[in-house]
Every structure is written in structure tokens, then in C-alpha cells.
């Protein structure tokens, strides 16, 4: 006897009950797909901003800088960084023509204006290279312009408002230099930018690498060199390549790390993924409990039928497989429907995105304020597989109970 | 006539000796407040001028900063750096405010917030330290805990606790030369009891009847291999200083 057609006929014998059981799985998988879509959008934004703005896919810095990264020390810098950056650029471009190699300096500053002082963060780099990374040139507000030359800066709109400054005003920057003394530089504000990322608009201003070197007394150096690749797949191989170039330049003094090994965000992202999968599993389990209840009810109703089948010679194993198949098929139907509707919903929601500006107001994470949910093939597979697998697991116990019945008792008790 | 017994003579001589000792100057025990008052009498001045040199050691790196400094009381100070890398950089302290002038930008900026806790020109002596008033007896309550010999000199040991929160160091332990009443060594502590800085007087100058520390070593207890030696030469105390020196206009001249 073929189990699947038999199970299918049994499910169709009471369509309403089957639909009720499948609907529970449908709802829980739908919820999982939508939540996963938001999670994908959230994490994609975080990873993209983190790599682009902070580390690159591969990051080179001194070992001393790595020990004190949190403090953005300016007394730890790569000497003669332009030569090293050029060597890396030449090697990396042969394998990834779209890769971007950038020398950067990031440091805390005290900004001074008529209205007072405010602590902020400076990001210094080659303005033309940063057009492809920070891309703040695309966020300049009307009335301003991107940095044109040495001596100019662009400032986050919120930061400028806090300081009472506007385009054309002078930004006075005071900070500790590489030799420990205080450095001071005045920069003309050429434009204000608005990214809707609170960690940028309220705290950051961009200046040229040349200005930063003068301010910090850093001569021909940079705090870090970042390598941003076209995609994620080649990070490990490129890291080895870059390590070889760095070792030839200055073995032992410089550290080369992939972005996954830098800072707290990669660990946080990994942890969030694990936590979300456990949450999804619990949601799927809750949705599948209905199937267990329905299966138990069905088995009690069909006791006589089970007894007759057994007395006709159907092995206990096949009885088990029959009811297991019924439960699994209910889960599969619910999962397919839930996944299909969930993916459709996400694709509609992804067109406009969700404006989280107010919710993100107090955060300084590297996140866009508008989150676009997204779906991957992995999401689709997970939805179908999880719903089906959990339903199968939940159905096992009632199916085993059915298989263990004594045929005579089953027929007599009906 | 009764003969004076040897015993009576001995006792009388002993009593006279004790009275002589008690009457001798300095022989009366000083309390903590009195010791601090004597220290302040040495260190507190109406005006000071000196030419200074800071030798800063940080790990394997050494830097030298030279300066000219004027100060009036504890509320006004003006420093101009003269070493080539910082030539023309000036600092003005007026009460609790600090300004710096940078000749490269021809502009002045007020230093506040976290920057005050940074070492001055990269030294272990912070801008906050420079802002601290000098008169210990008004800022701290003191307890004399005993005497120790330090570098061959007998010293009073005092434990000081800040009377209010406005001081940079909540607690201090001082070793005060018992003869010259200068602070030979001091340990500066946070409220939690963590040791933050140590200073030692390596040399002193006698100016009139006063002893004034002229070479002082500072080290940051939280950093490894880090110390600053501040040497003052051409020291002039209590001479008239032009009040116009302590103004924002003087910073930018």
C-alpha cells in the first residue's frame, strides 16, 4: 500500500479539520518569515554601514592600535601609509577591480563654537576615495557642497545645529596630537549632510587626510588602512593576500584582520542570529502543537479503523508511517502557504521600507533609519523546512501510540 | 646646715634639663594643620616667574618642552612655550577657565571637559593639575600619621582628605621635610582609593627665607614607563607682575 496517497485521502476525508490544523502552522510560519525579513533588513543595514564606514572588509592597523581601538588613539599610526596602501591597491585590484583601499584616521575631538563646546568624532580620509565609501557627498543638504580642498569640512546636520553653525562658518577643532600635546585647526564648513543615521548626523564631521595629519602631527601616516571588497565571498582569501604584503612592508608591527574579528558588532550580529533562530523555532513549535492535538483526536476517532487495518495484516511500522505522513503533510501545506504569503508581504513592504527614525533616536548604532526588509533563498528554505520538520516531530508521539494499539482492543473499544 | 644629697642634686638637674628642652624652639609637637600652614607659607606666593623645562618620558619616547611662566596667586597663570615644535603656543588660566593660543591658526580656544584631564603637552601633569589651587590647608582636612625617613631626611607623614568635591584628587598622602617644610613626596588618590599620580621633589631652591621645590618629578600611576620632570630656573617669587599679562589680549599679541 502506498502511504502518501492513503494519507492524502485520509486528510481529505475531513477537510475542515485538516485546514484548521494546517492554518496554525501557516500562521506561525508567516510570522517567522515576516520577522526574518525584518531581521535581514536590520542586520544587512548594520553590516553594510559597519563595513563601509568603520572597518572595510579587511582592516590594517598597528598592534598597539588594536589594543586600544576603543579610545581611537592617535599616537598609534602606520608610518608611511601611502606606500603601503598603494602596494595593497595594486595587488588587490588584480583580483577585485572594484575593491577600494582607503587610508583613514578617526579620532575624538572637542569642537568649539560661540554657543559652547561639544565632543564629536572626526573621520579623515581622501575625499575622493570617501565618495565611494562614506558617500556623504550624496547626502549634502541644499546650500552646501562637498569638501573641495584642504581646509574644508562637511558636518552632520544635527551636530551643526547643536553648535549653532551653518555653511560658510568656521569649525574650530581641538584634540590631542600624536605626541600628546594639544592640536588646533580651523576648517571652513563647505556643507552639511543628513544621512538619517543618528551615529553620523549627530556626532561626525568629515575632513581631509591632509588636514588631519597637520592637526595631529602625524606626518605621512594613517591610523588604519581599510580594504572594501565588491562582495563578502573573497574576504578570507584577500585577507591572506593583504597579510603577505603587510609582512613584506613591516613584519610584526601591523595587524591585518577581517571585519568579523573587529569590534563588538560582528559578535553582536552572530549572537542576534542565534537568538532569532531559537525564537523562530519556539514560534514554529507553538504553531505545530495544534497538529499534535488534531492527530491525537484523529487517532482516537479512527481506533476501530486502525484495529481493522492491523488485523488485515498492516505492519505496525506502516501504521506509524501513515499517521506520521498525515501530520507531516499538514505541516508542509501550512509551511508552503505561510512562506508564500510571507515572502509576498515582505516584497511589498520592502518597496517603501520602515521609517524607524523616532525609534532609533537614542541609538548610535551603524544603522539606517529606514529599514528595508528582505528575503533570501535561505529564508524561504528555512520557513518550509522548519514548519515541516517541527510538524513531523510533533506528530511522532501520537503516531507511535496508534502503532502500538492492540488490534482486538482497538476494534472492541470503538 | 644640711648637706645637699647627690640624689637631690641629680633630680633637680634633671628637672632643669627637661624644662630647657621644653622651652627650646621647635621642640613643641606640631599638629597637621600647623605643618600644612608652614608648607603653604613656603609654596604659596603672590607672584612667581620662572623659566621651565619639562622632560617627558613615555615608554621609549622622550620629549623636551621649554617655557616661560608667570603666575599671580593661585587664580592667574600665563605660560608661553619656547621649544621649536611648540614655539608661540600660549596658555592662560583665569580662575577655573583655561585658554590656549595656537600661532599656526592665529586663534584662541577655550579648553574644557575631558581635554582638561589630558597631560599638558603630553606630560603626566594634566591641565586639571595646573588648575588646582595650591593652598592645601583650605582644601583638605589633614591628619598627622607619623614620621618617616625619606631619602635621608626626616619627614612628617600626612593623610589629607578633600573637604569638597571641587578638587582633582580626593585624597593625598604627603611626606613633608620636617626641617624645610617642603613636600618631598606626594601620592594622589581618587575617591575610590586608587593611586593616580606620584610626585617627588628632586631639588629645591632657597628664595629668601623660603624653600621652594625647583625640580619635581611627576609620574602617572596608571601608565607604565611614564614620567615628567619639571625643572624651574630663574625663579623669582613675589616680584611685581604686570596685570595685563593675565588677559586674553596678551594671549594673542
Measured CA to CA, the distance from residue A142 to residue A140 in angstroms comes to 7
Residue A174 forms contact with B (CB below 8 Å): yes
Distance from CA of A90 to the nearest CA of B (A): 35
Please tell me which residue of chain B has the smallest CA distance to A214.
B104
pLDDT value for A356:
75
Give the pLDDT band of residue B144 (cuts 50, 70, 90): very high
Range A149-166 average pLDDT? 92
Terminal-to-terminal C-alpha distance of chain A: 24
Contact B109 A172 (CB under 8 A): yes
DSSP string, A376-407: -HHHHHHHHHHHHHHHHHHHHHHHHHHHT--H
Q: How far is CA B167 from CA A246, A346, B131, in A?
A: 48, 59, 9
Contact B115 A112 (CB under 8 A): no
Which residue ranges form the domains of chain B, and what is each CATH number?
32-252 (2.50.20.10)
Q: How far is CA B51 from CA A351, B209, B239, in A?
A: 70, 21, 15
Who among A117, A180, A186 is closest to B113 (CB)? A117
Interface test with B, best of A182, A214, A215, A219 (most B CBs within 10 A): A182
Who among A119, A172, A181 is closest to B121 (CB)? A181
The model's pTM: 0.72
Range B21-41 average pLDDT? 70
Measured CA to CA, the distance from residue A119 to residue A161 in angstroms comes to 14
Residue A121 forms contact with B (CB below 8 Å): no
C-alpha cell belonging to residue B228: 615628567
Q: How far is CA A36 from CA A339, A376, A391, in A?
A: 11, 10, 20
Sequence ranges of the domains in chain A: 3-50+266-413, 58-230
Give the number of A-B residue pairs with CB atoms closer than 8 Å. 52
Q: What digits encode the pLDDT tens for the residues A298-337? A: 888 888 888 888 888 888 888 889 888 988 999 899 999 9
Range B117-128 average pLDDT? 76
Contact A180 B105 (CB under 8 A): no
| Composition of chain B by helix, strand, coil, percent to 5 | 25, 45, 30
Q: Is the predicted pLDDT of residue A365 greater than 80, yes or no?
A: no
Measured CA to CA, the distance from residue A58 to residue A236 in angstroms comes to 9
Who among B113, B119, B123 is closest to A119 (CB)? B113
What is the residue-averaged pLDDT of chain B?
82
Q: Identify whether the C-beta of residue A160 lies closer than 8 Å to the C-beta of residue A143.
A: no
Distance from CA of A174 to the nearest CA of B (A): 8
Instruction: Examine the predicted complex and report whether its ipTM is higher than 0.90.
Output: no
Q: What digits encode the pLDDT tens for the residues A245-254? A: 999 887 778 9
Amino acid at each position: 500500500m502506498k502511504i502518501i496517497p492513503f494519507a492524502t485521502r485520509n486528510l481529505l476525508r475531513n477537510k475542515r479539520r485538516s485546514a484548521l490544523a494546517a492554518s496554525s502552522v501557516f500562521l506561525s510560519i508567516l510570522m517567522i518569515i515576516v520577522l526574518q525579513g525584518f531581521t535581514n533588513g536590520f542586520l544587512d543595514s548594520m553590516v553594510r554601514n559597519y563595513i563601509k564606514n568603520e572597518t572595510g572588509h579587511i582592516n590594517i592597523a598597528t598592534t598597539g592600535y588594536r589594543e586600544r581601538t576603543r579610545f581611537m588613539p592617535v599616537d598609534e599610526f602606520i608610518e608611511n601609509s601611502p606606500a603601503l596602501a598603494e602596494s595593497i591597491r595594486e595587488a588587490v585590484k588584480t583580483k577585485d577591480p572594484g575593491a577600494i583601499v582607503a587610508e583613514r584616521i578617526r579620532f575624538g575631538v572637542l569642537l568649539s563654537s560661540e554657543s559652547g563646546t561639544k565632543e564629536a568624532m572626526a573621520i579623515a580620509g581622501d575625499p575622493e576615495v570617501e565618495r565611494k565609501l562614506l558617500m556623504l557627498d550624496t547626502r549634502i543638504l541644499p546650500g552646501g557642497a562637498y569638501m573641495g580642498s584642504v581646509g574644508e569640512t562637511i558636518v552632520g546636520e544635527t551636530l551643526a545645529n547643536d553648535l549653532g553653525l551653518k555653511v560658510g562658518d568656521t569649525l574650530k577643532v581641538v584634540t590631542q596630537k600624536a605626541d600628546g600635546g594639544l592640536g588646533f585647526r580651523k576648517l571652513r564648513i563647505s556643507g552639511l549632510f543628513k544621512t538619517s543615521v543618528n551615529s553620523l548626523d549627530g556626532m561626525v564631521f568629515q575632513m581631509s587626510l591632509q588636514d588631519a595629519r597637520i592637526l595631529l602631527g602625524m606626518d605621512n601616516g594613517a591610523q588604519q588602512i581599510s580594504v572594501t571588497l565588491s562582495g563578502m565571498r573573497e574576504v578570507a582569501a584577500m585577507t591572506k593576500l593583504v597579510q603577505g604584503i603587510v609582512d613584506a612592508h613591516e613584519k610584526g608591527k601591523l595587524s591585518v584582520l577581517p571585519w568579523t574579528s573587529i569590534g563588538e558588532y560582528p559578535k553582536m550580529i552572530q549572537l542576534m542570529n542565534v537568538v532569532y533562530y531559537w525564537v523562530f523555532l519556539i514560534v514554529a513549535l507553538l504553531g505545530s502543537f495544534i497538529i499534535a492535538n488534531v492527530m491525537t483526536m484523529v487517532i482516537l476517532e479512527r481506533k476501530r479503523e486502525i484495529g481493522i487495518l492491523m488485523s488485515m495484516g498492516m505492519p505496525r511500522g506502516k501504521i506509524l508511517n501513515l499517521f506520521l505522513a498525515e501530520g507531516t503533510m499538514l505541516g508542509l501545506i501550512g509551511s508552503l502557504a505561510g512562506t508564500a504569503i510571507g515572502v509576498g508581504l515582505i516584497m511589498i513592504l520592502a518597496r517603501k521600507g520602515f521609517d524607524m527614525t523616532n525609534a532609533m533616536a537614542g541609538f548610535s548604532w551603524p544603522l539606517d533609519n529606514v529599514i528595508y526588509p528582505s528575503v533570501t533563498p535561505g529564508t524561504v528554505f528555512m520557513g518550509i523546512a522548519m514548519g515541516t520538520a517541527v510538524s513531523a516531530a510533533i506528530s511522532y508521539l501520537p503516531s507511535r501510540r496508534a502503532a502500538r494499539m492492540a488490534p482486538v482492543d482497538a476494534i472492541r473499544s470503538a | 646646715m644640711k648637706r645637699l644629697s647627690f640624689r637631690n642634686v641629680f633630680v633637680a638637674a634633671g628637672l632643669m634639663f627637661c624644662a630647657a628642652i621644653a622651652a627650646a624652639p621647635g621642640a613643641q609637637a606640631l599638629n597637621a594643620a600647623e605643618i600644612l600652614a608652614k608648607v603653604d607659607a613656603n609654596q604659596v606666593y603672590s607672584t612667581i616667574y620662572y623659566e621651565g623645562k619639562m622632560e617627558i618620558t613615555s615608554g621609549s619616547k622622550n620629549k623636551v618642552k621649554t617655557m616661560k611662566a608667570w603666575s599671580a596667586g593661585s587664580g592667574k597663570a600665563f605660560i608661553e612655550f619656547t621649544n621649536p615644535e611648540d614655539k608661540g603656543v600660549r596658555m592662560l588660566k583665569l580662575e577655573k577657565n583655561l585658554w590656549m593660543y595656537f600661532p599656526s591658526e592665529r586663534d584662541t580656544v577655550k579648553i574644557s571637559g575631558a581635554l582638561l584631564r589630558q597631560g599638558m603637552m603630553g606630560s603626566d601633569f594634566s591641565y586639571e593639575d595646573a588648575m588646582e589651587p595650591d593652598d592645601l590647608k583650605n582644601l583638605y582636612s589633614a591628619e598627622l600619621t607619623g614620621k618617616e625617613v625619606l631619602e635621608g631626611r626626616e619627614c612628617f607623614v600626612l593623610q589629607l582628605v578633600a573637604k569638597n568635591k571641587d578638587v582633582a584628587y580626593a585624597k593625598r598622602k604627603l611626606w613633608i621635610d620636617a626641617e624645610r617644610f617642603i613636600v618631598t613626596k606626594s601620592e594622589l588618590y581618587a575617591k575610590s582609593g586608587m593611586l593616580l599620580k606620584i610626585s617627588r621633589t628632586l631639588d629645591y631652591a632657597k628664595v629668601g627665607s623660603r624653600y621652594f621645590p625647583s625640580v619635581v618629578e611627576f609620574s602617572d600611576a596608571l601608565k607604565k614607563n611614564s614620567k615628567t620632570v619639571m625643572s624651574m630656573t630663574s625663579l623669582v617669587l613675589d616680584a611685581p607682575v604686570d596685570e595685563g599679562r593675565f588677559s586674553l589680549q596678551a594671549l594673542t599679541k
